[in-house]
Amino acid sequence: MSDATQNPPLPLGYSPLKPGQIANVVTCLDMRTPPAPRAARPGDEKFVLEPWVRPSVADFRALFRRVGEDWLWYSRLIMADEKLRAILDSPDVDLYRLYEGGEVLGLLELDFREAGQCELSFFGLVPQAIGKGAGRYLVDRGIALAWNRGGARPPIQRLWVHTCTFDHPAALGFYQKAGFKPYAFMVEVQDDPRLTGHLPRKAAPHVPVLDP
């Protein structure tokens, strides 16, 4: 996702959607300097974050779906295979999987394709890992990796992330506690992926399905 858009601002008041569409309010957050490292917590030693190098499109989408189905993650499900393959192969996109005892708990994607900045483009846990400390460990490691990537690229001046009203209700506060500050709102409109067959109808029960 980009935090820039060519679409005009919405008018004041209510704006109706076409049948079969959904909308969410997106909050963009960023940080311009690395935050002070937070102390490790008991239990962090059980987590292992490993690079995920050039996964297959099918394997990536399988984990993407496991992590994001409850929150209506759909962007990589509707994306053309060739476009997704190019992202997964990009030397400027770093992918990681979080493990505990050999079991995959989460997904982290850092996107350095825009010079001088990094987007924490995808971050999430499988449902059974939520609320057990894995999220804090993963975001802290992700922030450290973004600010300390090294290599031939110059250091970043900005790390940003977005969350939305489809996400876990604690997501916004979680990112703020990690050091991110809100700077913009956007509204995203898309065809409901539960009606297009990209996600099951039971996904994200906190967002009603409205049949056209």
Q: Which domains does the chain have, with CATH numbers?
A: 43-162 (3.40.630.30)
How far, in Å, CA of 8 to CA of 86, rounded? 29
pLDDT score recorded for residue 3: 66
pLDDT score recorded for residue 210: 96
How big is the CA angle at 168 (ends 34 and 149), to the nearest 5 degrees?
25
Question: Alpha-carbon dihedral of residues 27, 31, 135, 187, nearest 10 degrees?
Answer: 10
Q: What is the mean pLDDT of the chain?
A: 95
- The secondary element (H helix, E strand) that includes residue 93 is strand 93-100
How big is the CA angle at 60 (ends 143 and 50), to the nearest 5 degrees?
45
Place of tokens 């309010």: 25
pLDDT score recorded for residue 60: 99
pLDDT tens across the length of the chain (212 residues): 666 677 899 999 999 999 999 999 999 999 999 999 888 888 899 999 999 999 999 999 999 999 999 999 999 999 999 999 999 999 999 999 999 999 999 999 999 999 999 999 999 999 999 999 999 999 999 999 999 986 667 889 999 999 999 999 999 999 999 999 999 999 999 999 999 999 999 999 999 999 98
Residue 33: closest CA among 162, 143, 185: 143
pLDDT score recorded for residue 192: 98
pLDDT score recorded for residue 149: 86
How big is the CA angle at 56 (ends 55 and 57), to the nearest 5 degrees?
115
How far, in Å, CA of 67 to CA of 123, rounded? 9
